[in-house]
């Protein structure tokens, strides 16, 4: 008797102007045609989610299948996918060789408590609260996928994280950022090292560390006016940014004599992009030369968000420039709360300054305009701000300082 093979999905294959995927089940083949490769990949992932079951029930093998599906979906970068699988394995390490069904809620809680006592091999210190929460989130995400595929439930669902993570990183003040900028330009004029300009790209354009380091010459377009980012950490990372006037001549200078696919900010001896650690050390050295507090490369991205919000840029515009899907992520981890509050106050002031003369019309008009301009959370925050300043007269309102950074990116 022939052994019944598990179902599988193959493809996609391009056939003229369409793409085909094939579901093989019970020795029968069913072809499905779609218009684009992206649609075909999504359909394949959905079919695999619905029909495929892992042959092995060992926890380590099921995590491998999860990682493979994340890679096929292409919703996040391969590095992020690998990182998520790594932390899911780290959280469940003592049970990786056991059947996934053996992991109960009680054992999941014990695994989390064990993780709290682990020490980082890099820092030789216990993992931070943020790392605990990230590893727990990765484990939960894996078991959500496993549950959706009928493998098991989610034993980590009721595990409560311990401790409060630190949100955001210390940021430079505006005057300190100006000194940092002057110092980076002076150092570049003196030694020509491209990481001096790379640091200013992170600050003035809000790009992630890796996004900066992997940029190629061809990404700088239209005479240095735009910098293209074709892919990144998430699907929202794809964007093209206008280069500040201050940086354009320096970036164009870095392209001289280089091939279109050459790395804009240089490479290591093995041809790979410069290491993150080297960039981190370089930024620290610039801080020392500029006599400002030492910050990391990611802090420069946060300062960009803070200054953009404070200068009056719309929330969705700031989020999009950073490669975020929503302003919630920007507000939680990047822009300082005071900058968000100041910008909100300034926007309310601009509306109040334009109130209609008729008292009967003013209340309705104001309510309509506020609801159109703010979401529910922002309205609640504004109500709190206005209540706190109830005794302040309308004439005492002043717009937030919008001159921290001009449209070209100058401090």
Mean pLDDT over each residue of the chain, to the nearest integer: 76
Considering the domain architecture, whether residues 115 and 130 belong to the same structural domain is answered as: yes
Considering the domain architecture, whether residues 79 and 196 belong to the same structural domain is answered as: no
Considering the domain architecture, whether residues 293 and 201 belong to the same structural domain is answered as: yes
Matching residue, tokens 């794809």: 238
Considering the domain architecture, whether residues 118 and 203 belong to the same structural domain is answered as: no
Matching residue, tokens 């100006």: 178
Considering the domain architecture, whether residues 61 and 47 belong to the same structural domain is answered as: no
The total number of structural domains that make up the chain: 3
Considering the domain architecture, whether residues 158 and 237 belong to the same structural domain is answered as: no
Residue 202: inside a domain = yes
336-348 pLDDT per residue, tens: 444 444 444 344 3
The residues near 18 (Cβ < 8 Å, ≥ 6 apart) are 33, 34, 35
Instruction: Give, rounded to a whole angstrom, the gap between the first and last alpha carbons of the chain.
Output: 77
Considering the domain architecture, whether residues 194 and 238 belong to the same structural domain is answered as: yes
Rounded Cα distance, 257 and 260, in Å: 10
CB atoms within 10 A of CB 66: 23
Considering the domain architecture, whether residues 75 and 159 belong to the same structural domain is answered as: yes
Considering the domain architecture, whether residues 46 and 83 belong to the same structural domain is answered as: no
| End position of a domain, from candidates 13, 31, 52 | 52
Residue 157: inside a domain = yes
Residue 334: inside a domain = no
Residue 281: inside a domain = yes
Q: How far is CA 130 from the centre of its chain?
A: 15
- Residue 335 per-residue DSSP state: S
Considering the domain architecture, whether residues 200 and 284 belong to the same structural domain is answered as: yes
243-261 pLDDT per residue, tens: 888 888 999 999 999 999 9
Q: Which domain holds residue 268?
A: 174-304
Residue 257: inside a domain = yes
Residue 346: inside a domain = no
Q: What is the mean pLDDT of residues 192-212?
A: 86
Residue 190: inside a domain = yes
Q: Which residue has the higher pLDDT, 325 or 81?
A: 81
Using an 8 Å Cβ cutoff, are 304 and 336 in contact? Answer: no
The CATH number that applies at residue 77 is 1.10.150.130
Rounded Cα distance, 362 and 373, in Å: 16
Matching residue, tokens 């992206």: 38
Matching residue, tokens 């056991």: 98
82-91, 108-117, 341-350, range with the lowest pLDDT: 341-350
Residue 132: inside a domain = yes
| End position of a domain, from candidates 130, 150, 166 | 166
| End position of a domain, from candidates 119, 139, 166 | 166
């Amino acid at each position: 008797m022939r052994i019944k093979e598990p179902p599988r999905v193959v493809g996609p294959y391009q056939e003229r102007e369409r793409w085909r995927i094939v579901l093989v089940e019970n020795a029968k083949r069913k072809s499905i045609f779609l218009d684009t490769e992206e649609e075909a990949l999504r359909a394949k992932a959905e079919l695999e989610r619905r029909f495929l079951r892992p042959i092995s029930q060992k926890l380590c093998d099921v995590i491998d299948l999860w990682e493979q599906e994340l890679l096929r979906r292409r919703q996040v970068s391969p590095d992020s996918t690998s990182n998520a699988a790594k932390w899911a394995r780290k959280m469940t390490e003592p049970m990786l060789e056991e059947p996934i069904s053996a992991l109960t809620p009680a054992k999941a809680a014990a695994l989390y408590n064990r993780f709290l006592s682990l020490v980082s091999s890099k820092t030789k210190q216990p993992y931070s609260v943020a790392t605990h929460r990230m590893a727990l989130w990765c484990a939960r995400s894996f078991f959500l996928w496993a549950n959706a595929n009928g493998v098991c439930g989610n034993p980590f669902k009721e595990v409560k994280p311990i401790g409060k993570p630190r949100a955001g990183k210390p940021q430079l003040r505006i005057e300190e950022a100006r000194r940092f900028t002057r110092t980076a330009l002076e150092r570049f004029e003196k030694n020509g090292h491209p990481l001096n300009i790379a640091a200013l790209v992170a600050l003035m354009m809000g790009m992630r560390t890796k996004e900066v380091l992997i940029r190629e010459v061809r990404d700088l377009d239209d005479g240095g006016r735009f910098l293209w980012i074709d892919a990144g950490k998430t699907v929202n990372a794809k964007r093209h940014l206008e280069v500040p006037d201050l940086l354009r001549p320096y970036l164009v200078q870095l392209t001289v004599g280089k091939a279109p696919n050459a790395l804009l900010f240089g490479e290591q001896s093995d041809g790979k992009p410069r290491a993150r650690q080297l960039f981190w050390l370089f930024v620290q050295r610039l801080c020392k030369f500029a006599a400002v507090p030492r910050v990391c490369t990611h802090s420069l991205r946060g300062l960009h968000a803070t200054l953009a919000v404070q200068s009056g840029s719309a929330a969705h515009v700031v989020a999009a420039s950073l490669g975020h899907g929503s302003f919630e992520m920007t507000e939680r981890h990047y822009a300082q709360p005071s900058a968000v509050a100041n910008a909100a106050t300034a926007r309310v002031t601009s509306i109040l300054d334009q109130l209609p003369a008729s008292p009967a019309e003013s209340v309705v008009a104001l309510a309509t305009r506020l609801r159109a301009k703010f979401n529910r959370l922002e309205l609640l925050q504004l109500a709190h701000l206005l209540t706190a300043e109830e005794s302040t007269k309308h004439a005492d309102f002043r717009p937030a300082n919008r001159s921290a950074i001009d449209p070209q990116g100058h401090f």
